Amino acid sequence: MNTPLISPALVTSSDGPFLAAAELTQRESRATSSHSHARGQLMGALSGLVSIGVNRQHWVVPAIHAIWIPPHCEHSIRSHGPFSGWSVFIAEHSCAALPREPRAIRTTSLLRAAVRRAASWDGTQLDAQQSRIAEVILDELAASKAESLGLPAPEDARLLRITDALARDLSDSRRLEQWAEWAGLSPRTLSRRFVAETGLSFAQWRTQARLLRALERVADGVSVTAIAFELGYDNVSAFIDMFRRATGTTPGRYVAASRNFPTMPLSARA
């Protein structure tokens, strides 16, 4: 059973301080089923990887990134292996200037330092100095740019059939024309509706799906060779090239960075 990071009574209401934070370091995986709460949540990773399901989308949060989940937004969470990170819970009345939709962001050193300070607070009303630090966190989130760490699901049943089939087997390399015939629609319709419903072309969606799965499998400790062939790449070099273009580093270096595991106390736990 997961130990709450912060008082459940605080998370589910807007009473108490308008911002509360907690930090977590763990060696085992952690999973939280679909739920929502009155406060918005900004969840960040320092090392390791977290997957989040929200609003018919699948998101991953690799190191030094975070995802913003607005108040009352249904979401589920799963960490993959060892993980170090933090969460900030923001009262609904303080979320007016924050993004209205879920958003993945790359965190700044200023944001991480402010969260670290906030995680040391005791959960009572904030004094003037604490309020200023809390406002820095809100400002950093409000000014953040969205990162492409999500995978939107289409609503059209024919497209959803395709994405579900691909999710089950990302090594399936059928061309768009073949998928269109399999799903019972024209290639032109498939291409047009994919962009309209997901914001991505079919090829971009498949590449993004493979990247997110790769990040999860790397975090699970699977070898680069096994991941490459699991995702349908003809050779390891092609997979490494895709990974480098998307993340700025190779899978091996990504693993090494993730294993540089900081020690972090648990704070503000229930």
Domains of the chain: 8-142 (2.60.120.280), 151-256 (1.10.10.60)
Q: What does the pLDDT read at residue 260?
A: 52
pLDDT beneath 70, residues of the chain:
1-5, 257-270
State the Cα–Cα distance between residues 8 and 4, nearest whole angstrom.
Answer: 7
Contact criterion met (CB below 8 Å) for 88 and 137:
yes
Residue 197 CA to chain centroid, in angstroms?
Answer: 20
Residues in contact with 183: Cβ distance below 8 Å, sequence separation at least 6, in sequence order: 158, 159, 161, 162, 190
What is the pLDDT at residue 177? Answer: 96
Q: Name residues whose C-beta falls within 8 Å of residue 163's C-beta, 6 or more positions apart in sequence.
A: 153, 154, 205, 209
Predicted local confidence at residue 262, as pLDDT: 46
Distance CA 251, CA 247 (A): 9
pLDDT for 190 equals 95
What is the chain's Cα-based Rg?
20
The pLDDT value given to residue 268: 33
- Tell me which residue has tokens 């419903």: 197
CA atoms within 13 A on the CB side of 5: 23
Task: Identify the pLDDT of residue 92.
Answer: 94
Please provide residue 4's backbone torsions phi and psi, each rounded to the nearest 5 degrees.
-55, 140
Amino acid 267: pLDDT: 33
Strand, helix or coil at 160?
Answer: helix
Q: Report whether 230 contacts 173 (CB < 8 A).
A: no
Beta pairing partners, 106:
65
pLDDT score of 78: 84
Six-digit token pair at 26? Answer: 């763990």
Tokens of 254: 């990504």
Rounded distance between C-alpha atoms, residue 160 and residue 73, angstroms: 22
